[in-house]
Structure 1
Amino acid sequence: PGVFQCLLSPLQAGCPLAVLGGLLDPAGIGSCLDDPRGPACPFSALASLDDGVEGCLRNPAGGGCESILGKLTDPLYVLETLPRAEPADQCTPAFDARTFEHYIGAIHEHTGYSDGAISSRPAEVFERTRALGLDFTAVTDHSDNTRLPLSVNGDCFSERFFECLIADDDAPFDSFRKWSATEEQALAASDDGFTAIRGFEWTSDRFGHINLLFGENVINAKTGPGYAVSMGLFWQWFSYPAAFGGGGDSLLVFNHPGREDALEQIVEPIGGDPAYTFNDFRYVPAADRRAVGLEVFGKGSEYDSGGPGGSWLAYALDKGWHLGAVGSEDHHDQEWGDPDLPKTVLIARSRDAADLKEALSARRFYAVAQGYNDLRMTVRVDDKPMGSRLRRPQGRQLPLQASLSRGGADFTGRMELVTNGNRVVATGTGASWTATLTVGDQERYYFLRIMDPDTGRPVAFSSPVWVLPGASPLPLCDADGGGAESIL
C-alpha cells in the first residue's frame, strides 16, 4: 500500500503500524507462543530484533514481561526498532600508525544563532578557535530556533531585548537561514590548517540533548513528540536517508548525560522517569554504528563519575552502545577555545573534514579536561589504537601499552583500566604503562581513565577498545565506519 492507503488504514499489511494490528487478533498473538519469529506471529519483526520481546512472547508470565510487552503498544517504539540493525562491532577501523596524527579541537559550541552570546555568529567561533591553535571546531547551535531569526540568550529578557530579534547583526538576512549560513561560514573558515564543522544540538528537556555532526539535514525536538513523549521519531529520522530529509549521514554524540529531565526530579522517589537519559540509554541497533560518543567533560565540569555505578560512559557501554569519550566545551559566551574548557583529540589522517569524520566513526579519539588541553595519550591493545574492535581466539592474551605526555614532556598520571560494569581491573602510575588482557567468552570493552596524581580527579578518558572472542579477525570498516573491505 501507498502512503495515502496507510493513512486511511494504518494497520493493514505493508504499513509501518501493521504490527500493531496483532493486538486485535487473539489468534495471531497465540501463534507467537509457539514461534515468535514465524510469519504468523504479528510481532515477528520485533521478536527478531529484541530478545526481550521474543522471550516474553514465548512466556508472557516471565519476569518483567509486563513492561517489555508494553513496548508493543507504543507505535514510536516500533519505528525505533524496525530499521535495519547496524552494530558497530561487525568491523574494525583501519589503522597505520605512520599516517595518523593527534588533532585537538572543540566540539559543541554555541552562538547567537541559538542561546549563545548575543549577536555572535559561527564565523567568530571559527576565527577565535583557529587563532588559539585548535585544529577543528564544531558549532552545534540548538535546532529549536534554526528557522527563526531570533537569539534566545537569557540576557535577551532585559534592555537588550531588541538586539535579539535579529540574531546576526553582520548579515541580517542570515538570521532567516541559519542552517545554510552556518555551512557557508564553516566552508569559508576551512583550509589545510583548520576545519570548521557544522552541526546542531537536538534538545529534549526530558530525554536529554544530542549533538549531530556532518549531516545535511536538521530536526527540531520541540516541534514533535521527541520533546517529551517518545524518541521513536528521532531514531527514525536518524536512520532515514539524507536524500529524503533524514539524518542517515550524521554522526551522533550523547551530551552531558543526567543533566536534563525535570520530571525525573519529581518522580525519582517512586522509581524515576523511564525516559531519563535517553530512555535509560536503551540500545537502538539501527543507530549504533553512527552513535559515536558520549560527553565525559563539559563546560568546566567532569560529568562521568555522576553516572550509575560511578560512570555514565561505562553505563552506556554496558547497555550495548559503542561510544567513545568526548570532551565538550558547550560554551555559550565568547571565550570559545580557551584552555579552561575541555577538548577532544582526534587521531586522524589529516585535518580534512572527511578524515575527521572517519576518526569519529572509528572512535579513535579521547577527551581531555579543562586545564589539561596539552595532555596527549596513546593507547594500544595488540598494537591497535582506541576504537578498535578486536576479535581474537578466546583465552589469547593481548598486550596493552599506554603513554602520557603533557606539553611535550612525560606526564606522570594515575591510569585506571576500566571494563564492563565500571570495574577497574588494573592500575598504573607513570608516563608509560603496560598490561595484559585476556580474551574472554563475550565482548568486553576496555578504556583508560586518567587521574591527576595530586588531586585524584579524572583529567582524561580514552575511548574504548572492544575485545570479542572469535576464530578470525573482523573485516575492516569502509570509509564511513560501516561495511567491510578486507581482513585485518
Structure 2
Amino acid sequence: CYDAFLDVTDPSYVLEQIGPEAPADTCTPAYDADSFYHYAGSLHEHTAYSDGTPLTRPADVYRRVKQSGFDFVGSADHSDNIGIPLSVGLSRAECSAEDFLYCLILVDKDRPQDAFAKWSATLTQSEAASDDSFTAFRGFEWTSDRFGHANIFFSRNYVNAKTGPGYAVTMALFWDWFSYPAQFGGGSDGLLSFNHPGREDDLESAFEFAGGDPGFTFNDFRYVPHADYRVVGLEVFGKGSEYDSDGPLGSWFSYALDKGWHLAPVGSEDHHGVTWGDPDLPKTVIVARSRKLDDLRDAMLARRMYAVAQHYNDLRLDYHVDGQAMGARLQRPAGTTLPFTVTVRRHSGAPMSSARIQLVGPGNEVIAEGRGDTLTGTLTVSAEKRYAFVRVLDGDAGDRPVAFAAPVWLLPGASPLPLCLPPAIWSGDSALHPRLP
C-alpha cells in the first residue's frame, strides 16, 4: 500500500503511464531451430569520445573486437560528451605534451574534425568496420547518478541526461524521448538495456534514514508500459564482475522481471581502457538468423540473448521450452505441461560437466536444478503469467554464476500468441506498432 501511494502521488509515475501500452507479451517471436545461430560479441564500450583512454575512437574498438574473432560489437560512449569536442578521460592515462591538445579538446588525432560530430562519426566508423563476417553498431550511454545508467542502441538520435531534469528530478522526460518519433528527434527506433543495477547509490545511502531514495535503480525498476517492447536487457555481468547477486532476494534480474519488464541478460565490457574484446571481460551471445545488423537488432528485440562471464567467452547455451527458444512468450491453456531442455558446452562443443544449471522463476525461486551439462523437465502453465530463466554456475569455481539466459514467459490463454511482425520502427514509422497482427 505504501509503494502504491508513492506511485500515484508521484507526478513522474502519472506521466510514465501516459501513452499507448506496448507490452512485449502481446506477441511471440518467430523461431525455428534450423534458421538461428549463436553470435558472440561485446557491448558497452567507451573511447575518448567520452571518458575512455585518450586518443581512442570507436573505430579502434571495432577493429580490436573484430580481430579477436567475435561477431559483433556495440559501442556506447556517454552521451554527456557526444555533443562537445572534449574528452574527460585524461585522468585515466598519460598524455604527452605534444598530444595534449588532441587528448583534451580535439579528441581524434587522425580526424580532429570528427570531434565536432562524434555521433555521426561513430556511425560512419561502425559502417566502415562492418562486413559479412562482422557487424559494428552505434549506441550511447544515458547516465543519471540518481536513477542509473542505460545503453540505447540503434537509435538515429541521442539525448543527454545531464542537460535536463531526467538527470536527478524525474525520468519521465527520458521515457517521453524514448517513445517520441525518431524522425522528429526522439528515440522510437532505439533498444534499451539497463546498466550495472544498484551502482548509482549515493542518494540511496544518503536517504537511508527515510527508507532510501525512491528514484534508486530506475525508480525501483518501475514498469513503464509504453516503453516495455523496446526495453530489452539488463546487465548481469560487467567489467570483471557479476552484478546480479547483489539484488533483492539475490537477483536484480529476477527483481526487474517481477516488476513487469521483459528483459534478457547482458554481459558488458564497460571499461575505459583499450582491451576491448579480451577474454577477461564478459560477453553477450545473440541467437539470430545472421550477424547482419537487422538480424542482430531483431534478435535483441526478441530477447534471444544470453550473457557469459569473464573467462567463459566460449560458453554456449541452448534453452528451449516446447521447441521455442529463450525470449519466447508462450500462451497456452492453464494446466498445460511443456517440456524444457537446457544444455551448456565449452571449447567448440566440449561438454561442461562441472555446470550446475538452475531454472529460475519469480522471486528468484529455483524451480528446477541439476548438475552436469544438460537439464530437462517440464513447466506447467499456471493461472497467472510466469517466467523461467536459466542461471549456470560453475562447480569448479565455487558455484559462482557464469551464464544467464533470457526467460521464456508462460501465459494462460486459449490459443498461442500471434507472431511479432517485422519491426516498423526500424523504418522510422513509429505509428505502426510492431506487435500489431
1:157-204 CA deviation, whole Å, 9 max, x = no partner? Answer: 976664222211110000010000000000000111000010000000
* Mapped contact 2:54–2:90 kept (Cα < 8 A): no
Counterpart residue number, 1:475: 418
Is the counterpart of residue 207 in structure 1 residue 147 in structure 2? Answer: yes
Counterpart residue number, 1:153: 89
Counterpart residue number, 1:334: 274
Is the counterpart of residue 410 in structure 1 residue 351 in structure 2? Answer: yes
Is the counterpart of residue 442 in structure 1 residue 378 in structure 2? Answer: no
Query: Quick one: which amino acid aligns to residue 83 of structure 2?
Result: R
Is the counterpart of residue 216 in structure 1 residue 156 in structure 2? Answer: yes
Query: Quick one: which amino acid aligns to residue 475 of structure 1?
Result: P
CA distance in 2 between counterparts of 1:480 and 1:318 reads: 26
Post-superposition offset of 1:83: 1.4
Counterpart residue number, 2:167: 227
Counterpart residue number, 2:179: 239
User: Which of residues 147, 168, 188 is equivalent to 2:108?
Assistant: 168
Counterpart residue number, 1:48: none
**Structure 1, unpaired ranges of 5+:** 1-61
* Mapped contact 1:257–1:277 kept (Cα < 8 A): yes
Give the secondary-structure state (helix, strand or coil) at the position aligned to 1:401.
strand
Post-superposition offset of 1:435: 1.1
Counterpart residue number, 1:86: 22
Give the 4+ runs in structure 1 shifted more than 6 A: 156-159
Counterpart residue number, 1:32: none
Post-superposition offset of 1:78: 3.7
CA distance in 1 between counterparts of 2:7 and 2:251 reads: 26
**Structure 2, unpaired ranges of 5+:** 425-432
* Mapped contact 1:348–1:359 kept (Cα < 8 A): yes
User: Which of residues 286, 289, 297 is equivalent to 2:237?
Assistant: 297
Counterpart residue number, 1:9: none
* Mapped contact 1:91–1:483 kept (Cα < 8 A): no
Post-superposition offset of 1:382: 0.5
Post-superposition offset of 1:446: 0.3
Range 475-484 or range 436-445, more displaced: 475-484
User: Which of residues 51, 56, 59 is equivalent to 1:115?
Assistant: 51
* Mapped contact 1:211–1:254 kept (Cα < 8 A): yes
CA distance in 2 between counterparts of 1:64 and 1:347 reads: 37
User: Which of residues 301, 315, 320 is equivalent to 1:375?
Assistant: 315
CA distance in 2 between counterparts of 1:246 and 1:104 reads: 30
Range 257-266 or range 349-358, more displaced: 257-266
Query: Quick one: which amino acid aligns to residue 128 of structure 1?
Result: R
Post-superposition offset of 1:373: 0.2
Higher RCO, Cα 8 Å, sep 6+: 2
Post-superposition offset of 1:65: 5.9
Give the secondary-structure state (helix, strand or coil) at the position aligned to 2:256.
helix
Alignment size in residue pairs: 422
Give the secondary-structure state (helix, strand or coil) at the position aligned to 1:144.
coil
Give runs of aligned pairs for residues 8-157 of structure 1, distance below 5 A. Answer: 66-71=5-10, 74=11, 76-155=12-91
Query: Quick one: which amino acid aligns to residue 238 of structure 2?
Result: G
Post-superposition offset of 1:437: 0.5
Post-superposition offset of 1:484: 4.8
Distance 1:475 1:119, change over 3 A: same
Is the counterpart of residue 451 in structure 1 residue 398 in structure 2? Answer: no
Distance 1:399 1:171, change over 3 A: same
User: Which of residues 167, 170, 192 is equivalent to 1:252?
Assistant: 192
Query: Quick one: which amino acid aligns to residue 99 of structure 1?
Result: S
Is the counterpart of residue 461 in structure 1 residue 417 in structure 2? Answer: no
Counterpart residue number, 1:420: 362
Post-superposition offset of 1:262: 1.1
CA distance in 2 between counterparts of 1:250 and 1:314 reads: 24
Query: TM-score scaled by structure 1?
Result: 0.84
1:5-57 CA deviation, whole Å, 9 max, x = no partner? Answer: xxxxxxxxxxxxxxxxxxxxxxxxxxxxxxxxxxxxxxxxxxxxxxxxxxxxx
Range 352-361 or range 425-434, more displaced: 425-434
CA distance in 1 between counterparts of 2:6 and 2:213 reads: 14
Q: Name which one, 1 or 2, has greater alpha-carbon Rg.
A: 1
* Mapped contact 2:90–2:104 kept (Cα < 8 A): no
Counterpart residue number, 2:203: 263
Give runs of aligned pairs for residues 319-330 of structure 1, distance below 5 A. Answer: 319-330=259-270
CA distance in 2 between counterparts of 1:315 and 1:476 reads: 27
Give the secondary-structure state (helix, strand or coil) at the position aligned to 1:67.
helix
Task: Report % sequence identity.
Answer: 59
Give the secondary-structure state (helix, strand or coil) at the position aligned to 2:298.
helix
Distance 1:484 1:228, change over 3 A: closer
* Mapped contact 1:119–1:164 kept (Cα < 8 A): no
Distance 1:156 1:424, change over 3 A: closer
Counterpart residue number, 1:274: 214
